[in-house]
Amino acid sequence: MLTWRPSASLAALRERSRCLGQIRAFFAARDVVEVQTPMLGARTVTDAEVESIAVHPYGFLQTSPEYYMKRLLAAGAASIYQLGPAFRHEESGRLHNSEFTLLEWYRLGFDDRQLMQEVAELVDDVLGRGSYTSLTYSELLGGVDALKLERDEIDLKFVAAIERLGQGRFFITDYPADQAALARLRPGHEDVAARFELVIDGVEIANGYWELQSAAEHRRRFQADRDRRAQLDRSDVLVDECFIQALEHGLPDCAGVALGVDRLLMLALGETSLDAVLAFRLDRI
Amino acid sequence: MASYSTNEFRSGMKVMLDGDPCSILENEFVKPGKGQAFNRVKLRNLKNGRVWERTFKSGESLDAADVMDLDMEYLYEDGEFWHFMKTDGSYEQIAAAAAAVADCKDWLKEQDVYQVTLWNDDPIAVSPPNFVELEVTDTDPGLKGDTANGGTKPATLSTGATVKGVPLFINIGDVLKVDTRTGEYVSRAKS
């Protein structure tokens, strides 16, 4: 049924505006600079579980500003953040919308632990102060045996486990090395990645890395993504050579995180669906 | 036969699962950060009414079930089957077995209209309207002012069903309006 009316209430949208202001003030106080990189890019991510929206003849709506922001860092930018839309094909549900608002930031000289601390401070600003429990990925899944399962089953167990955590703020740390994405492996413990996620009241809010620097290792992981895409019968994605060039030039030591702003706002308002915080949900565009 | 992919699932859609026709109640998209996408689906098995929860990988599909809900008039029971007639003027009749009629037999009154669910043209379920009117065939004579039982008593209806919470002033031969969802007395029907 066609409806012209907004999904969110006008009061929620006012709250949204206030929250965006709060986030910008948080970074201004820390001297982290806001940047705006293209939403429409020629290339996209190889990640097997993320589908980009192609826009002919330009390229793709970006699934996150990660590669552009890292190109800025390689070019010598200091700590930076970006607050804007990101796009993912065929993601729609209570906690998903194909277009969503992502807050992504990079801190020079930080490792994952320091960045987790800063994520907690930002969340405290928006939701009010709370306490945070850290547990490793294998603790969350009830032991290392779970990590020997097929990837599908592991993903299912993960989804069930974060729901079981219930109310509260949880950092999931030390992801298995094969789920490192673009995090470096933990020095001295190379079976785990220096990757974390923040889960609040059963909702995934943020995903962060102590960033991988090696261009060669990036290339290896991108190829592994492409192999998995082929195995899953998904369309091939070419490696972003501009990004590789930037890595070869040198990404500074840094940690970075992406945070779902719509979901955070949803929790701030005590809501349970993104409908409550999006001006126009996918079904009304 | 057509099939539906998880991202087409909508509530009310009829699909086949484990050989039984089911109606989709809810479909929730679930996706961990960098992991695989799933759909957690609640379905009602149309043969036995049970609600199932299943998790599918996004993109998986289920065959469509050839299921139709028809308004039909109840005619009679022959000891083995319950007979219904289409209300579209065709006078076409179908016979439903006990498994399909199930609890609805408590609310069947000749010439009233019920919803019959057909799967591959076979009746698999019969649903009563939310309210039915049935005659009382047995109940204790209630004494005015007797409030020992909260002022109510049970009554047996023409179908054999027993309804609780019936006021004391109701007598044999009265017609009661009953809520079929709760099995409770609503009022005395004006007759």
| Interface predicted TM-score of the whole assembly (ipTM), two decimals | 0.79
pLDDT at B49: 86
The domain locations on chain A are 10-129+215-284
Q: Per CB distance under 8 Å, which residues of B are interface residues toward A?
A: 7, 28-38, 55, 57-58
| Sign of the C-alpha dihedral computed for residues A105, A89, B31 and A218 taken in this order | negative
- Please name the helix (run of DSSP H) or strand (run of DSSP E) that holds residue A231, with its range, or none: helix A215-231
Pairwise CB contact (< 8 Å): B35 & A197: no
| Residue in the structure block whose two tokens are 């492996």 | A185
Q: Which of A64, A150, A205, A96 is nearest to B39 (CA)?
A: A96
A207 CA to chain B: closest CA distance, Å?
Answer: 7
Strands A132-136 and A99-108, sheet pairing: unpaired
- C-alpha angle B106-B107-B113 in degrees, rounded to nearest 5: 145
Pairwise CB contact (< 8 Å): A49 & B58: no
Mean pLDDT of B11-38: 91
Pairwise CB contact (< 8 Å): B36 & A197: no
Decide: B38 and B56 in contact? Cβ < 8 Å.
Answer: yes
Taking CA–CA distances from B57, the nearest residue in chain A reads A152
Residue type, B175: V
pLDDT at A168: 97
pLDDT in tens, chain A (285 residues): 678 999 999 999 999 999 999 999 999 999 999 999 999 999 999 999 999 999 999 999 999 999 999 999 999 999 999 999 999 998 888 999 999 999 999 999 999 999 999 999 999 999 999 999 999 999 999 888 888 888 888 988 998 899 899 999 999 999 999 999 999 999 999 999 999 999 999 999 999 999 999 999 999 999 999 999 999 999 999 999 999 999 999 999 999 999 999 999 999 999 999 999 999 998 898
Pairwise CB contact (< 8 Å): B38 & A96: no
Taking CA–CA distances from B37, the nearest residue in chain A reads A49
A91 vs A41, A64, A202, B87, CA distance in Å?
20, 14, 18, 44
Please report which confidence band the pLDDT of residue B32 belongs to, taking 50, 70 and 90 as the band edges: confident
Q: Per CB distance under 8 Å, which residues of A are interface residues toward B?
A: 47, 49-50, 90-96, 151-152, 154-156, 158-159, 162, 179, 181, 197, 204, 207
Please report which confidence band the pLDDT of residue B145 belongs to, taking 50, 70 and 90 as the band edges: low
pLDDT at A247: 98
Pairs across A and B, CB distance < 8 A = 49
Residue type, B93: Q
* pLDDT tens by residue, B44-103: 999 888 999 999 988 899 999 999 999 999 999 999 999 999 999 899 999 999 999 999
DSSP letter string, A53-67 = EEETTTEEE-S-SHH
Q: Is CATH 1.10.645.10 the right assignment for the domain spanning A10-129+215-284?
A: no
Considering CB atoms only, which of B32, B34, B58 is closest to A159?
A: B32
- C-alpha angle A171-A177-A183 in degrees, rounded to nearest 5: 65
Chain A residues inside the 8 Å CB shell of B33:
197, 204, 207
- Please name the helix (run of DSSP H) or strand (run of DSSP E) that holds residue A68, with its range, or none: helix A66-74
B42 CA to chain A: closest CA distance, Å?
Answer: 15
Taking CA–CA distances from A96, the nearest residue in chain B reads B29
pLDDT at B59: 87
- Please name the helix (run of DSSP H) or strand (run of DSSP E) that holds residue B117, with its range, or none: strand B113-119
Pairwise CB contact (< 8 Å): A96 & B31: yes
Chain B residues inside the 8 Å CB shell of A162:
32
Q: Decide if pLDDT at B147 tops 80.
A: no
Q: Which residues contact A221 (CB under 8 A, 6 or more apart)?
A: A180, A181, A182, A212
pLDDT at B146: 55
Chain B residues inside the 8 Å CB shell of A152:
36, 57
Please report which confidence band the pLDDT of residue B34 belongs to, taking 50, 70 and 90 as the band edges: confident
* pLDDT tens by residue, B150-176: 688 899 999 999 998 899 889 999 999
Exposure class string for B17-28: b at 16+ Cβ within 10 A, else e: beebbbbbeebb
Decide: B186 and B157 in contact? Cβ < 8 Å.
Answer: no
Taking CA–CA distances from A225, the nearest residue in chain B reads B34
Cα A85 from Cα B153, distance rounded (Å): 64
Cα A196 from Cα A177, distance rounded (Å): 12
Decide: B13 and B21 in contact? Cβ < 8 Å.
Answer: no
Pairwise CB contact (< 8 Å): B36 & A94: no
Considering CB atoms only, which of A49, A96, A152 is closest to B29?
A: A96
Decide: B135 and B173 in contact? Cβ < 8 Å.
Answer: yes
Tokens for A187, please give them.
Answer: 């020095």
